[in-house]
């Protein structure tokens, strides 16, 4: 600010130049001078905490997207590459993963504060609704991001999630196919989830954050629920600003500590045939997961559609239902106890889900084994090189190599040395040989097999010199 203002507080020439063209300085002033009824409080830090977390997700997400390739061939390998090879890759991936979970926690605190303090009252209906949309979009981010690593955990959890969607009457099957890009989950599913995760939903989030902040500034801070004297209002800067920054600092420290001391594991790649795999969603989806267990068969519609729609509609329409001007939680017993009921049920469902898993020996054993598999996989070194990762995008073979492959077959090399020269019991591997032997050495060996090769039944190559060169070119292309 200093270069924009003079010591006496008036604008410098640079400041005036910028202000006249953009108005950004007076906007900035009005933001930091925003008066908060009743003064700054720690209870108000959650909104800016969320902004901080969303920014963190954006930055770490861009870093991950530099390496990630969304296809069944490369998704898992690129994530393994990020986790095991890239400098700080595991740390950044872990911050992104823990950050997403932390958003759920802080979002909940923000929502609880707004709801319990009645901060949605006083012409703030659209502000609340934009928040509800943000809530849904965040859950969408969590759901679409979970699949991307394409490990066992991701695949089977998302299979369950999309199957549940398929149970919705009328539109369900269509939705499920739309999301999966077909009946099965594969590359199309990955690319759809990826596009949703990095383009569609983030755009929605950016737009709704803008709307949310715009409406918030229009309505002004709600202040504490109890009536406060007008004179107790204080500006946002410096105390509320310091609290917000302090909270963001705490969140950052927690994220760094978690990512450093408990890096997020990556499991083995998807193996669709592992029928024994028991899928489990992220912890914050567990209550929903448990809830769905109770609604199998013909009653599924009630559990999957009717009750969630009613609960959600109540939640979305809170400011239209709870219309009184009273904001104190103790005077709004119905609202407060409903809130406590919903939170209590969610906790109970989550707890029951854990208990079900623990009480069934088979399930708990399998889950423990799955975790062990993940730890094992994490201990193994990264195998493929990054060029292998992109090998699926290889150019089609040239005519020369195709001709060489033809000779490899017609001269019967393939019978002893195997398809692609990988080697069989009868003869050794030829792939990779070209890096050890020169063209002259190779043609000598093929024209005049040594005694050992003869003993193995290898005939001398009788074709033309041109064919021999074509054949060797083919051998050189084998890695
Ligand atoms: C009947 C089986 C058989 C056939 C057919 C055959 N090979 Fe072989 N080849 C062998 C055996 C066995 C050896 C290894 C002998 C040893 O060193 O133990 C060998 C070795 C070689 C080697 C040397 C490998 C090394 O590591 O030094 C080359 C090169 C080779 N074969 C090329 C060919 C080509 C090209 C053809 C087709 C024109 C062919 N072979 C057909 C059995 C066969």
The residues that bridge with 35 in the sheet, in sequence order, are 235
pLDDT score of 432 more than 90: no
- Where do the domains of the chain lie? 1-30, 33-379, 397-477
Pocket test for ligand 1, best of 458, 464, 472 (most atoms within 8 A of CB): 458
pLDDT of 133 reads 97
Pick 397-477's CATH classification: 1.10.760.10, 3.50.50.60, 3.40.50.80, 3.30.70.360.
Answer: 1.10.760.10
pLDDT score of 2 more than 80: no
Distance, in Å, from the CA atom of 153 to the CA atom of 361, rounded to the nearest integer, reads 20
- Are 72 and 187 in contact by the 8 Å Cβ rule? The answer is yes
Ligand 1 near 442 CB (within 6 A): yes
| pLDDT one-digit tens code per residue, 240-293 | 999 999 999 999 999 999 999 999 999 999 988 888 899 999 999 999 999 988
pLDDT of 458 reads 93
Distance, in Å, from the CA atom of 137 to the CA atom of 204, rounded to the nearest integer, reads 7
| pLDDT one-digit tens code per residue, 312-369 | 999 999 999 988 888 998 999 999 999 999 999 999 999 999 999 999 998 999 999 9
Q: Which atom of ligand 1 is nearest to the CA of 463?
A: 38
pLDDT of 303 reads 87
Percent of the chain with pLDDT strictly greater than 90 = 63
Instruction: Name which residue sits closest to atom 21 of ligand 1, judged by CA.
Output: 453
Nearest to 241, CA basis, from 466, 40, 462? 40
Pocket test for ligand 1, best of 449, 452, 468 (most atoms within 8 A of CB): 449
Ligand 1 near 426 CB (within 6 A): yes
pLDDT of 385 reads 55
The CA distances from residue 419 to 7, 412, 442, 478, in Å, are 80, 11, 19, 11
pLDDT of 1 reads 52
Distance, in Å, from the CA atom of 294 to the CA atom of 272, rounded to the nearest integer, reads 27
- Residues 116-135 have a mean pLDDT of 94
pTM (predicted TM-score): 0.75
pLDDT of 389 reads 56
Pick 33-379's CATH classification: 1.10.287.110, 3.40.50.300, 1.10.10.60, 1.20.810.10.
Answer: 1.20.810.10
The CA distances from residue 41 to 148, 222, 236, 433, in Å, are 39, 12, 10, 72
């Amino acid at each position: 600010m200093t270069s924009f203002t003079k010591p006496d507080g008036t604008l410098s020439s640079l400041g005036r130049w910028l202000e006249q063209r953009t108005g950004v300085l007076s906007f900035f002033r009005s933001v930091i001078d925003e008066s908060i009824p009743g003064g700054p409080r720690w209870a108000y830090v959650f909104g800016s905490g969320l902004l901080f977390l969303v920014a963190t997700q954006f930055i770490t997400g861009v870093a991950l997207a530099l390496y990630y390739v969304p296809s069944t061939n490369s998704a898992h390998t690129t994530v393994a590459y990020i986790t095991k090879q890239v400098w700080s890759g595991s740390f950044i991936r872990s911050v992104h993963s823990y950050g997403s979970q932390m958003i759920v926690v802080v979002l909940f605190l923000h929502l609880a504060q707004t709801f319990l303090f009645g901060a949605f009252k006083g012409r703030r209906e659209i502000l609340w609704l934009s928040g509800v949309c943000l809530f849904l979009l965040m859950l969408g981010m969590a759901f679409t991001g979970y699949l991307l690593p394409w490990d066992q955990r991701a695949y089977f959890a998302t299979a369950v999630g999309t199957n549940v969607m398929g149970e919705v009457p009328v539109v369900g099957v269509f939705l499920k196919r739309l999301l999966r890009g077909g009946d099965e989950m594969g590359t199309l599913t990955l690319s759809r989830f990826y596009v949703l995760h990095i383009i569609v939903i983030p755009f929605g989030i950016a737009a709704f954050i803008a709307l949310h902040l715009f409406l918030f500034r229009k309505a002004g801070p709600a202040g504490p629920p109890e009536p406060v004297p007008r004179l107790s209002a204080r500006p946002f800067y410096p105390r509320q600003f310091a609290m917000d920054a302090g909270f963001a600092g705490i969140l950052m420290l927690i994220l760094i500590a978690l990512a450093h001391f408990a890096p997020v594991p990556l499991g083995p790649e998807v193996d669709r045939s592992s029928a024994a795999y028991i899928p489990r969603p992220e912890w914050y989806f567990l209550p929903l997961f448990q809830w769905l267990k109770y609604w199998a068969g013909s009653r599924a519609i009630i559990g999957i559609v009717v009750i969630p729609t009613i609960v959600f509609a109540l939640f979305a329409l809170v400011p239209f239902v709870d219309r009184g001007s009273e904001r104190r939680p103790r005077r709004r017993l119905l609202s407060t106890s409903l809130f406590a009921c919903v939170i209590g049920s969610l906790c109970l469902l989550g707890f029951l889900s854990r208990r079900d898993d623990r009480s069934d020996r088979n399930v708990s054993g399998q889950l423990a084994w799955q975790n062990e598999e993940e730890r094992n996989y994490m201990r193994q070194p990264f195998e493929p090189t990054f060029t292998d990762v992109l090998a699926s995008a290889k150019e089609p073979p040239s005519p020369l190599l195709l001709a060489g492959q033809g000779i490899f077959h017609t001269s019967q090399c393939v019978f002893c040395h195997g398809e692609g020269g990988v080697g069989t019991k009868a003869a050794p591997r030829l792939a990779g040989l070209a890096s050890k032997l020169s063209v002259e050495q190779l043609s000598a060996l093929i024209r005049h097999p040594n005694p050992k090769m003869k003993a193995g039944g290898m005939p001398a190559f009788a074709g033309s010199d041109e064919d021999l060169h074509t054949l060797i070119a083919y051998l050189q292309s084998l890695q």
